[in-house]
Amino acid sequence: MTETATIEVDLLPAAAKRVAAIATKLGKDAALRLSVEGGGCSGFQYRFGLAESIESDDHVTERDGVKLVVDSISLDLLRGSAVDFVESLGGASFQVTNPNAASGCGCGTSFSV
């Protein structure tokens, strides 16, 4: 597990709180895995899920006892990003603010570089 003093991808407090609540309900470790996959309407899409394991080349950020796990390939596209949890009239979701994204789609789950 690779941990650095520099926060490559930040996990904001609202997202950490939501991950902790989900993990507690499911009886799992409070570790959110964020990855980038090809697809979506803009070329790349974000994938979220509870991390089943942490690999040696994963980047790990921790806030309030909750881990954000990003694989080394996705990290290149996510460096400098922040993960938040937002609730609105339209619903609730994890959202990524990604400075590397040249454009995104209306749903907020896909982007291009």
Query: Distance between CA 32 and CA 69 in Å, rounded?
Result: 6
Would 2 be classed as within a structural domain?
Answer: no
Would 45 be classed as within a structural domain?
Answer: yes
Domain CATH for 101: 2.60.300.12
Would 3 be classed as within a structural domain?
Answer: no
- Domain extent at residue 76: 9-112
Whole-number pLDDT of residue 58: 95
Q: How many folded domains does the chain comprise? A: 1
Would 1 be classed as within a structural domain?
Answer: no
List Cβ neighbours of 40 (8 Å cut-off, separation of 6 or more).
105, 109, 110, 111
pTM of the full structure:
0.82
Q: What is the pLDDT along the chain (113 residues), one digit of tens a residue?
A: 444 446 799 999 999 999 999 999 999 999 999 999 887 666 788 899 999 999 999 999 999 999 999 999 999 989 999 999 999 887 888 999 988 876 555 545 544 44
